[in-house]
Amino acid sequence: MRAFFNKKKKLIAMLLLLITAAGIFAFNESDKYFQIAKNLDIFAAFYRELNTYYVDELPPEKVMRKGIEAMLEETDPFTDFISEENLDDLKFMATGKYGGVGASIYTNGEWTSITDVYEGSPMDKAGVKPGDIIVSMDGKSVKNAPQDDISKQLKGAAGTPLDMVFRNPVTGVETPKKIIREEINVKAVSYTGIIKNDIGYIKMSQFTENSGSMVRKAFEQLKQTNPGIKGLVLDLRGNPGGLLDEAVVVANIFVDKNKLIVSTKGKVKNWDRNYETAEQPADTHIPLAVLTNHSSASASEIVAGSIQDLDRGLVIGQRSYGKGLVQTTRQLPYNTKLKVTTAKYYTPSGRCIQAIDYSHRNDDGSVDYVPDSLRKSFITHNGRAVKDGGGIEPDAKVDPTIVSQVAITLIRKQFIFDYATSYYYNHDKIAPATTFALTDSEFADFEHYLDNKDYSYKTRSEEVLDSFKSTAKKEKYYDAIAKELETVETKMKHDKKQDLLKNKTEIKRLLEEEIINRYYLQKGRIAKSLAWDSEVNTAVDILHDPLKYKQLLTVSK
């Protein structure tokens, strides 16, 4: 019976693939046309017979959805079927807008708490604070409610009311509040400021509608209020991308008019296109550093790749994600859509930075990264060598910050979050975000707060040792080396108190950022983090050293 269902699933998937292909492309070859017509007939007959004679009812929508999902397994993860109920998610990806209350939540045990409140949002206007606990929504208790269900209920059309009851996390006092949903516009530019007195900094979180003009405006305001500015850091770390057109607009801020930024090439040749800058730039001379990490993808990589290829600035940080694929939405019946990869994009030097080859799958269906041996070299405007097939490699590499296991555990178990909440209700105000610092006595108070709290964890070394022991037992080596392993395990046992002190600087920073978030929201958190951010500090040092900046732009990597 299971074999029958597997065959059915594969057949439906294959036939749906043929149907979709027939709707998008016109095949001239008579053989292909015959194969499509033949398999459409088989599909119709197969489903008619199955639906008529199968012993139980088979919901048509469910069966077809299974077929679509199986078919999508053969594509890249960015090609997807968008149902009518998920169209709002697609809209948000393009516009950065949604109807809601403007807050982030986290469910821990029975209750859900507010973790972040967006400045100027309905929650902010209602006086809701991070740490507040949601008790009920529209008269219904949300105790033990799944986080996804609460998140969906918080969203809704702008102008619609939501009656909520919040519990103060310290006093336990419950307060009713009427929240009026609004159109929430998640800002593409989450922070703008000055570092070390003369270096501009812009944090860009996504590429949505008009985000390019927002970045230009932020940059021009920085220059106007700081005429002595000597360089700019454009932070694209963690930016998953978005609209390709907006990437071109962002690059245009720093690149002359009529310069090629990106080109797209796919199966449908009349869709191939070159994207060039269309406006006069804001500044083509200011030293520029673009920050990337492994989560910088798509449109972020277009900006970073074009700036690098044109030698307009430096890329600093870690290699980017490597998403060189372009998606287009196609309208389907009944208000559904197909988001389909239609092309690959290429930077000005001609390289495609797609890191994973989805067109060639292993026997088990898995996919691999493009091997270094197959990566080709290209040349930038100044003659530097750059490679395709693996994201944007930085001109100045900075190792990522590794968070300690004790810090990860304190974050995951909400102890840093809960302490920050308690601190907020015991301190009416604090120093400005950039100067606020916990004292040693306050850190000692945090240590005392952790007494009798379970934040046990395994170090990475202990995890590796456990894995080794498990393998040794399977391969029957364990008995021979058991005593030696016990000795190693004893020496590796860690003292939680000592680990706190060993990682005091890191934990103190995390505490400070979380506390600052209570008073100054996200902008304050970012402002505080810049002081110890290794990628930012590296970028600032290079921008302050014209000779090194010039060398990195002219010497081949």
Q: If you search the block for the tokens 């389907």, which residue do you land on?
A: 332
Catalytic residue, chosen from 8, 187, 203, 323, is 323
Any catalytic annotation for residue 265? no
Integer angstrom CA distances of residue 453 from 414, 431, 448, 456: 11, 29, 10, 9
Any catalytic annotation for residue 534? no
Three-class secondary structure of residue 79 per DSSP: coil
CA distance 420 to 366: 44
CA distance 324 to 346: 7
**Alpha-carbon Rg for the chain in angstroms:** 27
- Of 416, 392, 389, 420, nearest in space to 404 by CA: 416
Any catalytic annotation for residue 309? yes
CA distance 533 to 544: 16
Q: If you search the block for the tokens 């102890």, which residue do you land on?
A: 415
Catalytic residue, chosen from 263, 298, 320, 349, is 298
Annotate 273-325 with DSSP letters as a single string: EEEE--S--S-SSS-EEEEE-TT--THHHHHHHHHHHTTSSEEEES------E
Give me the amino acid identity at 331. Answer: Q
Catalytic residue, chosen from 80, 132, 235, 309, is 309
DSSP 8-class letter at 85: G
CA distance 518 to 113: 14
Integer angstrom CA distances of residue 304 from 236, 296, 435: 8, 9, 32
Looking at the annotation, which residues are catalytic?
298, 309, 323
